[in-house]
Chains A and B, each alone.
Chain A
Amino acid sequence: MTLKRTLTATVLAGAMAAFAAAPAFAEGLYIPLLTYRTGPFANSGIPIANGMNDYLQMLNERDGGIGGVKIVIEECETGYDTQKGVECYEAVKGKKPLFMNPWSTGITLAVIPKANVDHIPVLSMAYGLSAAAEGETFPWVFNPPMTYWDGASAVIKYIGEQEGGLDNLKGKKIGYLFLDAGYGREPIPLLQDLATKYGFELLQYPVPAQEMQNQSSQWLNVRRDKPDYMVMWGWGAMNPTAVKEAAKIRYPMDKFIGVWWAGGEDDARPAGAGAVGYKTLNFNGVGPNYPALQDIKTHVVDKGMSKVDAAKFGENLYNRGVYNSVLMAEAIRNAQTLAGKPDVTAEDVRKGMETLEISAERLKEIGLDGFMTPLKLSCTDHSGHHDVYVQQWDGTTWKPVSDWFAPMTDVVEPLLKASAADYVSKNQPWPARAEPCS
């Protein structure tokens, strides 16, 4: 009994000592990554998590971090579950994170009000709340290089070009297949607006999360309705199933266009030859042939520090994860310059994001020439509404089939302002920005 008590006391004392010895916050530039390597959305989450991790890890290995300060990376598994995501947020917020990467529109919507109070920059790269592009209203949220509404407008613009002009959309049917969650529902108001403006009929096909791999009803409806084009806002296991189902009903694949999140190689590959012709939007380069990617290979992958499967290195969603980390790294670098110190705070990083400019020269310097379009954010514009391009699956890889083109910013921006005002009115009292943009 005495021995048992002694052992218990020793273990408890050791645990308490270890807890007391742990730093109150992480030493270095602390960047938590809310990822999902497990669950129904892991097929999309894994490559992104690998890409994000590997670029930051490469900066640590090659450059000793950013501005001489090591990056401390910590993953928190959310399983793409909003509740778990919020738990992750709460678990890491005390460690003075420089960014919060929710990687889910649902989680983003849940943490936006919290981040506003906790003063943590939320980077929801091309996902989340579209209205968060309004920096005057959402000083702590960033969604570069474009919002979902930009994406929806870009798809319609592209379809218009295929038809010889937006005016020719009158009387056409455009189907919208979407994950029936915050993510998939986000662009609907914009699409409805464009449907009214250009006279096309918008047919909606929601896919409940529990039916992601059981979409035959949705595609039977598509077969009956015969939409001229299909637009997809899918994620996780929904994407490969949709591509297979489209092939099954012989839907013309070159008229089936996914958002940039439906453009993973593993989204198209399982359908085999049936997927040839499937298109998606994209805003990053695909493949490993960029100097920065080669540095990742040399300093991280070849040293066995990455979780990426060698055959999947440089695939689309992996590169998307790299893009996310490039944004963070460049904003931190900018913040260090602005603050005149290497050890920056979240407030410094927010300012770094608001004045972020990644020029073509800078892209060349960091080994990403041609990987993305030059990017510029501002105090009022946290998205930038940058260009996209359309890629097409050729059976083995993605090939660009359009030039880079701008979304319909003139249509989207007024709606974003109205939506931001609506958000504020529904979330009173919404704190005003501490220092106005102008």
Chain B
Amino acid sequence: MDVLWAVLVQPFVDMVSAPDFLLQVLWDGFVGGVLYALIALGFVLIFKASGIFNFAQGIMVVFAALTLVGLYALGMPAWVALGLTLVVMFVLAVAVERLVLRPLVNQPDIILFMATIGLTYFLIGLGEFVFGGEPKVMITEALGLPTGMREWEVFGGVVFFQEIDIAAAAIAIVMVVGIGVFFHYTRIGRALRAVADDHQAALSVGISLEQIWVIVWFTAGVVALATGIMWGARSDVSFALQIIALKALPVLILGGFTSIPGAIVGGLIIGIGEKLGEIYWGPLIGGGIESWLAYVIALVFLLFRPQGLFGERIIERV
């Protein structure tokens, strides 16, 4: 009976008895979810265009952030460094298309997946060779991003809002809307969706697969840069950041590998769900449940929607 009380009643009593703290948990979960969604977005873009699960997305986050900080350290103004980092990510996209994807056209998906693993280790090595393994401090203030903290006195308590978290949420929302609009209402966007639906059919109507791949990898690079700036500001810029990319997996399982809205909604469900779970139910079993709870949440959803929340239902008739 005590166990049932502790699992089914006490957490809700705790939520109601300290509503300001609940608000803090929800806000932290929301911010975490938005950042997970950003990482997942990078995966979704590439998966939609090429059917590849891009294992290198995590290291792209680190590589982009290190490039930005590294260029700034050379004495460039922050916005110049940002522009040059975008150029580097574009060059990377072109190189990936020319050297990795193009030679492997028509190969099974698993070969392309393995190629992205190779790309991961190449970028790790290149990043460590160029920038070294030491952590770097993100140039948050130089980029004009806010670093202060706001307080909201509510329900007899206080809720803290980091301004960088507010900025992260705003930037993520703008990026998601921007990418959504771009891919839905522009020629290139329509071409991308055509490629995503059927490579052969897209080729037959004159869509350049190579061009689309470059655009998509570059867009994923831009998303990686935004992710790197936000996560780097919360901690520091180091190779440990690539592990964060693993957080996108349950988001993708939940939201579907091909859906941009799925990445957003999935990210928020995972972000808020794991925080609530860790804070209110975690202590019952010693804490530290966050890392696997995300997968449990995703798997529970899969029981009811195997294709993910927004994934395309695949029906094969025999």
Contact = CB atoms under 8 A, between A and B. Distances in A.
Most A CB within 10 A of own CB, among B31, B133, B235, B241: B235
Contacts of B282: 217, 221
A220 B240 contact: no
A36 to B, nearest CB: 8
A9 interface: no
Nearest to B278: A217
Contact of A248 (B160, B236, B247, B291): B160
Contacts of A249: 160
Interface in B244-289: 244, 246-247, 274-275, 278-279, 282-283, 286-288
A237 B275 CA distance: 21
B291 A224 contact: no
Contacts of A40: 238-240, 243
A39 B149 contact: no
A213 B275 CA distance: 15
B28 interface: yes
A237 B287 contact: no
A214 interface: yes
Q: Is the interface of B mostly helix, strand, loop or mixed?
A: helix
A221 B279 contact: yes
B290 A217 contact: yes
A217 to B, nearest CB: 4
Most A CB within 10 A of own CB, among B24, B149, B234, B246: B234
A270 B134 contact: no
A206 B282 CA distance: 11
A210 B241 CA distance: 9
A240 B275 contact: no
A204 interface: yes
B307 interface: no
A205 B279 CA distance: 11
Interface in A205-263: 205-214, 216-218, 220-221, 223-224, 236-237, 240-241, 244, 248-250
A383 interface: no
B134 A309 contact: yes
Contacts of B286: 204, 206
A217 B275 contact: yes
A221 B286 CA distance: 12
Contacts of B275: 216-217, 220
Nearest to B245: A210
Contacts of B25: 220
Contacts of A270: 135, 137, 235-236
A166 interface: no
A220 B279 contact: yes
A269 B247 CA distance: 27
A297 interface: no
A241 B235 contact: yes
A37 interface: yes
Contacts of A204: 286-287
A269 B136 CA distance: 10
Given A216-B28, A240-B135, A180 B240 contact: no
B279 A211 contact: no
B243 A212 contact: yes
Interface in A30-67: 37-43, 45-46
Given A213-B234, A248-B162, A223 B133 contact: no
A232 B21 CA distance: 24
Nearest to A207: B288
Most B CB within 10 A of own CB, among A209, A217, A240: A217
B23 to A, nearest CB: 11
A191 to B, nearest CB: 15
A237 B160 contact: no
A180 B162 CA distance: 27
Interface string B113-152: 0000000000010001000111101000000000001000
Contacts of B234: 213, 241, 244
B240 A206 contact: no
B149 A43 contact: no
Contacts of A39: 133, 239-240
A81 interface: no
A240 B32 CA distance: 18
Nearest to A240: B236
Contact of A213 (B24, B28, B149, B235): B235
Contact of A43 (B24, B32, B134): B134
Given A40-B240, A217-B279, A220-B279, A211 B235 contact: no
Contacts of B160: 248-250
B231 interface: yes
A213 B124 CA distance: 18
Interface string A117-130: 00000000000000
Interface in B23-69: 24-25, 28, 31-32
Contacts of B244: 213-214
A38 B128 contact: yes
Interface of A: 37-43, 45-46, 180, 204-214, 216-218, 220-221, 223-224, 236-237, 240-241, 244, 248-250, 266, 269-270, 309
Interface of B: 18, 21, 24-25, 28, 31-32, 124, 128, 132-135, 137, 149, 160, 162, 231, 234-236, 238-241, 243-244, 246-247, 274-275, 278-279, 282-283, 286-288, 290-291
8 contacts: A42-B133, A46-B132, A208-B290, A213-B243, A221-B279, A224-B21, A244-B234, A269-B137
Given A218-B287, A220-B21, 13 more contacts: A38-B124, A40-B238, A40-B243, A46-B134, A208-B291, A212-B240, A212-B243, A213-B236, A216-B31, A217-B278, A224-B18, A224-B21, A240-B135
